[in-house]
Amino acid sequence: MTEANENYVDGEWVPSETGETAAVYDPANPSEVVGEYQQSSAADAADAVAAAAAAKDEWADTPGPERGAILREAGKILDDRKEELTDLLVAEEGKARPEAAGEVQRAIDIFYYFATKASDLGGTVKASSGRNTNLYTREKPVGVAALITPWNYPIAIPAWKLAPALAAGNAVVIKPASIAPGVVVEIAKALGEAGLPDGVFNVVTGPGSEVGSEFIESDGTDAVSFTGSSHVGEMVYDQATDAGKRVQTEMGGKNPTLIAASADPAEAAEIVATGGFGTTGQSCTACSRALVHEDVYDAFVDALVAEAESIDVGPGDDHEMGPQVSADELESTLEYIDIAQSEGATLAAGGGTPDGDAVADGHFVEPTVFTDVDHDMRIAQEEVFGPVVAVVKVSDFEEGLELANDVDYGLSASIVTDDHTEANRFVDEVESGVVKVNEKTTGLELHVPFGGVKRSSSETWREQGDEGLEFYTIEQTVYDNY
């Protein structure tokens, strides 16, 4: 019997008042239990908020360099445990090992980055229009930040929310995704060992309807940051704003790559395959639409099919592409594959579950390519969240740009072209928070802002970089007449 992981509240590991736990299973081998976690209630969440509220003032008064030193030490502890964190991430979420190791390293880098930024927080000095007056600003923490994080990047996304919140002097409560909460529990252990005061960081696992709702609606929280699906995120936004909270949501995408007539088809296919099939397509920035100029369409399709068919699918420990995270996610992807075929798209590669003993029991799906896709088909309009790429033929750059924008989402977009004018026009006119030229849609630098437009984001505050700190601070202006 696996020993149940407990909640982390006020510096203590405590069970839920419900007395209930839930198992997390290995998506590559769903009969294997990876861990047991608390099925917490609203009362458990309220206890965590109370602990954070009690701790926030002392943490806010802690000098920035001292806060940074604790973040830096936590990053070092995570770095020392990188291998075991990678093992846990592969087991709980199913990522291929190189992808899991890269994500763990990303979280470590984020802690180091914001450890340094904690020393930069201060404000600005301005010239006063009056005599004998000092005029300046101060950056003050918001108070208690509530974080609700997804399963697809279960350590990187919590890190890029948590580290700036702590660096800015906020106390934090977090509800990690129930499918893969283990790495957030490990972050809590690292921060505790690094010397973070009790109550400043609190972890409560369990259903969003209980834990998440309490975090959002509680009088004790001041800001809510959410990453997840657009459907849930829009409900979170409404709930948080109705409760008078500062709110930040980053949500889904239907990300295009426009393949221009000047593109090398093989190079473009590699870019699309990496962006569309990496992380099993379970990324909000994954490429799910290839908008391909008719002059290179056939050669591109041949190259993309070859890329898809070359991918080694199996358990993440020793294969190139791992499973989908759950039976529900696999079922959803297979349903979209059926819908695409029923609407008239041509299945050019994949489309089913792979054969073999290694993949017999897990939530595996083949990298899938559809051609002859009309842009009004559901496969070209709705987020699939699996390794499925819809290829749409376009007659020219203008049509490709128009279709790139003809969706409800606007998270990431890319263009593959040798024409600098086309590249610049795409950057200027595409409706997307992240734009890339001759690169895959996935992959983000940690020191620049990240966020989307339209249904991909609340379009309030961006995450990461300097902008990532802005959400967690309030500017105070001081007039000091001496």
Active site residues: 284
Cβ neighbors of 462 (< 8 A, separation 6 or more) are 433, 449, 450, 451, 468, 470, 471
Residue of 172, 203, 163, 196 lying closest to 468 (CA atoms): 163
Cβ pair 384, 336 in contact under 8 A: yes
What three-state secondary structure class fits 142? coil
Q: Are 411 and 456 in contact (CB under 8 A)?
A: yes
Taking each helix axis as running N to C, give the angle between helix 297-310 and helix 265-277, from 0 to 180 degrees, rounded to the nearest 10. Answer: 40
> Please, how many CA atoms are within 13 Å of residue 136, restricted to the half-sphere of its CB?
10
Q: Which two tokens stand for residue 41?
A: 């209630």
Q: How far, in Å, CA of 49 to CA of 217, rounded?
A: 11
Buried b (16+ CB within 10 A) or exposed e, 80-114: ebeeebbbbbbbbbbbbbebbbebbbbbbbbbbbb
Biggest alpha carbon–alpha carbon distance for the chain: 81
| Contact predicate 259/268, CB 8 Å | yes
CB-based contact 138:122 (threshold 8 Å): yes
Structural contact between residues 395 and 258, judged by C-beta atoms closer than 8 angstroms: no
Q: What is the residue type of 68?
A: G
Look at the block and give the residue holding tokens 């001292």. Answer: 66
Closest CA to 194 of 275, 105, 81: 81
Q: Identify the three-state secondary structure at position 293.
A: strand
DSSP for residue 313:
B
Rounded CA-CA distance 149/227 in Å is 5
Round to whole Å and give the CA distance between 67 and 370.
50
The phi, psi pair for 202, rounded to 5°, reads -135, 135
Residue labelled with tokens 């973040």: 71
Query: What does each C-alpha distance from 247 to 49, 447, 450, 474 come to in angstroms?
Result: 17, 21, 15, 13
Residues 177, 203: contact at Cβ < 8 Å? Answer: no
Residue with tokens 């099939």: 277
Amino acid at 140: K
